[in-house]
Amino acid sequence: MGRINAVITGVGGWVPTYILDNEEMSTIVDTSDEWIMERIGVKTRHILKPEEGTGTSFMMTKAVKQLLDKTGVDPDSIDAVIAATCTFDYHFPSTASLIIGNLDLKNAFGFDLEAACAGFLYAMEQAASLICSGRHKRVIVCGGDHMSSMTNYQDRNTCPIFGDGAACVLMEATEEEVGLIDSYLRVDGKGYDNLHMAAGGSARMPSHETVDERLHFVYQEGRAVFKHAVTDMSDAVVTIAQRNGLNKDNVTWIVPHQANVRIESAVARRIGVSEDHVMINIDHMANTSSGTLPLCLWEYEPLLKKGDKIIFTAFGAGFTWGASYMIWGYDGSKFADTPAEFYKEGMISREEWYAKRRKAQQ
Ligand code: UT7
Helices 119-132 & 292-300 angle (0-180, nearest 10): 80
Instruction: Judge if 165 and 25 occupy the same domain.
Output: yes
Which is nearest to 119 in space by CA: 328, 298, 320?
320
- What residues are in contact with ligand 1 under a 6 Å CB criterion? 31, 35, 39-40, 117, 156-157, 160-161, 222-223, 225-226, 229, 259-260, 263, 287, 315-316
Question: What is the whole-number distance in angstroms between the Cα of residue 288 and the centre of ligand 1?
Answer: 17
Question: Given this model, what pLDDT does residue 24 score?
Answer: 98
Q: What CA–CA distance (Å, rounded) separates 270 from 281?
A: 20
- For the whole prediction, is pTM greater than 0.75? yes
Q: What CA–CA distance (Å, rounded) separates 323 from 232?
A: 10
Backbone φ, ψ for residue 43 (5° rounding): -105, -45
Which residue has its alpha carbon closest to ligand 1 atom 38? 157
Other C-beta atoms closer than 10 Å to the C-beta of 227 total 12
Question: Given this model, what pLDDT does residue 353 score?
Answer: 59
Which ligand 1 atom is at minimum distance from the Cα of 157? Answer: 44
Q: What CA–CA distance (Å, rounded) separates 168 from 2?
A: 27
Which ligand 1 atom is at minimum distance from the Cα of 160? Answer: 48
**DSSP output for 157-203:** TTTTTB-EEEEEEEEEEESSS-EEEEEEEEE-S--TTTEE--SSSSS
Listed residues 156, 178, 200: the one ending a domain: 178
Question: Given this model, what pLDDT does residue 147 score?
Answer: 98
Instruction: Judge if 172 and 186 occupy the same domain.
Output: no
Instruction: Judge if 161 and 281 occupy the same domain.
Output: no
| Calculated CA dihedral for residues 347, 349, 354, 356, nearest 10 degrees | -50
Which ligand 1 atom is at minimum distance from the Cα of 161? Answer: 15
Task: Give me the CATH number covering residue 78.
Answer: 3.40.47.10
Instruction: Judge if 207 and 159 occupy the same domain.
Output: no
Listed residues 151, 178, 205: the one ending a domain: 178
Question: What is the whole-number distance in angstroms between the Cα of residue 74 and the centre of ligand 1?
Answer: 46
Q: What CA–CA distance (Å, rounded) separates 279 from 350?
A: 14
Instruction: Judge if 62 and 98 occupy the same domain.
Output: yes
Listed residues 163, 178, 193: the one ending a domain: 178
Q: What CA–CA distance (Å, rounded) separates 72 from 114?
A: 29
Task: List per-residue pLDDT tens for the chain, 362 residues long.
Answer: 689 999 999 999 999 999 999 999 999 999 999 999 999 999 999 999 999 999 999 999 999 999 999 899 999 999 999 999 999 999 999 999 999 999 999 999 999 999 999 999 999 999 999 999 999 999 999 999 999 999 999 999 999 999 999 999 999 999 999 999 999 999 999 999 999 999 999 999 999 999 999 999 999 999 999 999 999 999 999 999 999 999 999 999 999 999 999 999 999 999 999 888 999 999 999 999 999 999 999 988 888 999 999 999 999 999 999 999 999 999 988 886 554 444 333 345 555 655 655 554 44
- Domain extent for 329: 180-361
